[in-house]
Every structure is written in C-alpha cells, then in structure tokens.
Amino acid sequence: MGKKVGSLKAPHLSDFVIAFVILLLCLTCLVPFFHLLAKSLSSNTAVLSKTVFLWPKGANLNAYITIFRDGQLTHSMVYSLYATALFTAIGMVVTVLAAYPLSVKRLKGRGVISLLIMIPLYFAAGLIPEYLLIQSLGLYNSMWVLVLPLAFSPYNMLIMKSFFSSTIPPSLEEAAYLDGANHFQILGRIILPLSKPILATISLFYAVGRWNAYADAKYYISKKALQPIQYLLYNMILNATASEAVSLSESTATQSTPEVFQAAAVMFATLPILCIYPFVQKYFVQGVMIGAVKG
C-alpha cells in the first residue's frame, strides 16, 4: 500500500537535476578518453594546430602502426601481460591457501598465524630494507621481482577470509568431512565452486594492481627489456613532460615524442583494462562490500 510511495510517483524536477549531475560526473570520466582516442587517430598537423577535440581530424592509424613497427611497446605489453598472469595465478593460490584455513574457526593457533601475516601490512620495513632484501635474494633485475614479493597480499586474504566465513555455512564443511572428504577436497569441491564472485573480485584486484604498478620496476629493474609497460610509458610520457617543463616550450618536445604517439600509447596500455573491466564489473561491488565488513 504505502510501500512504494516514492517510486510510484512520476519523476520530479529534482530527479532530472540529480540525473544531470551524475551525467556530468560520468562525462568527466569519459571525455578524456574520447579526447585521447581522437588525438591518437588524428594527423600530426591537426593535433599541433589544436583543433582536435572529441572527433579525429585527418583520421589515420599511423600512431598505432608506429607502435607495432617500433615493437618496444608491443613487447612490453606481452611481457607485462605474462608477468600479470603469473602474478595473479600465484597470488590467488597463496591467498586461497591462507584464507581457507584461517576461516575455519576451530583451528588452533589461528589468531597467532593471522597476526603473523597481518603485521607487515601495518608495519612496513620501508624502501631501503626491502631494496637490500631484494638484492640479497638475487631478484634485482629479474622478472620475478615483479611477480613474487607482492604476490601475497594480506589485505586480499582478509577479504577472501571474510567471504568464506560469512557465506559458507560451517555445517556444509562439517558434513563433507563426515562423509570422508579431506580438507583439500572440501576446499576444491565445495568452497571454491561456491566462491566464484570473490575469486573473480580478488583476481581482478591482483591483476589490476600488478598491471598498474611501476614503482617496484623503478626501484629494482634497470634493464630495459625487463621493465613493464607502465614504467615504459612513464619514461616515454611523464619524463618527457618533466623535461618539457624545464624548457617551457611544447613544440620542441612534441617533435621528439609527438602527442599523437603519446595518446596512442596511453590508449594502447589502457586497452587490457578496458577489455576485462565490463566482464568482471558485476562481481567486484560485492567483493568491496565484503572487504568493508572487516578491512
């Protein structure tokens, strides 16, 4: 009766005002991409004359062809995808192996082990001790430095643990145990199939985290062939911008790294995110909300 008073009424003026504000905010997220895309597809002269806004002028694929011919970015893309896949796979295995046992309430020593895993999250050793550790582990200038040190995130483990203990009834696991299943079978046949949303969410967090980070590459990798795409991009675009600020003349800088090429490089490196994002999008809201219960 009175249940849906608000939503049954015809839209009010304030509904349109709210929709308009949201629309504007969405545009701030979309317009920069359309601008970059337009730039990346335009001719050099059109971009230099500053007449490209949201639609390409003198449309051509030259910048993208350059990217493929040059090979540096494509190589880096393949390499980064490889490192990201490896990182995500290892991260997921280790995270599941920690989250499941720690979600079993009767496990003795659960509190101590949790504490042991969580302490580094709240008290980091800092850049230099970590740098020296990486060197003594022999990981300096190795692809594995991008894969191993950060592959186990206690924070992601916490989110997964909350999911396990809040959504999977202990009685289910108990019943499987009494039927003679061991813990590995319980995990593989019962827990994991029931946890697809959280597995998708945490995989996304791991993959995006690895794909986007470049600080560790800046600290630990000096060999160009081993640098991930974000760091390459950083050196191509942001370092160029920094030196440009010194000379304060944009025209000289644009000759060395044309804006069209930079725009194409940014679009190119964002592509993987834009490709997987729509598919995992429906899962991660749930993941974040679980993380909020106990973060």
The answer to whether 106 contacts another protein (rule: CB under 8 A) is: yes
Q: At its nearest, how many Å lie between another protein and the CB of residue 171?
A: 10
Asked if 227 and 213 count as a contact pair (C-beta separation under 8 A), the reply is no
Residues between 19 and 48 with contacts to another protein, criterion CB under 8 A: 19, 21-23, 25-26, 28-30, 32-33, 35-36, 39, 47
Instruction: Tell me if residue 65 falls in helix, strand or coil.
Output: helix
Q: Which of 81, 86, 89, 118 binds another protein (CB under 8 A)?
A: 118
Binding mask 207-246 for another protein (x = CB under 8 A): -x--xxxxx--xx----------xx-xx--xx--xx--xx
Q: Of 67 and 237, which has the nearer Cβ to another protein? A: 237
Residues between 260 and 279 with contacts to another protein, criterion CB under 8 A: 262-263, 266, 269-270, 273, 277-278
Angle between helices 72-103 and 154-167 (to 10 degrees): 50
Residues between 139 and 178 with contacts to another protein, criterion CB under 8 A: 148-152, 154, 157, 174, 178
Q: At its nearest, how many Å lie between another protein and the CB of residue 7?
A: 7
How many CA atoms does the CB half-sphere of 144 hold within 13 Å? 7
- Separation CA 293–CA 80 (nearest Å): 33
**227 burial class (0-12, 13-18, 19+ CB within 10 angstroms)?**
buried
- Give the C-alpha distances (Å, rounded to integers) separating 256 from 7, 61, 259: 58, 19, 9
Q: At its nearest, how many Å lie between another protein and the CB of residue 248?
A: 8
Stretch touching another protein by CB under 8 A, among 61-69, 70-78, 192-200, 257-265:
257-265
The answer to whether 116 contacts another protein (rule: CB under 8 A) is: yes
Q: Which of 5, 71, 256, 275 binds another protein (CB under 8 A)?
A: 5
Non-local (6+) Cβ contacts of 67 within 8 A are 73, 74, 261, 264, 265, 268
Q: Which of 73, 88, 163, 259 binds another protein (CB under 8 A)?
A: 259
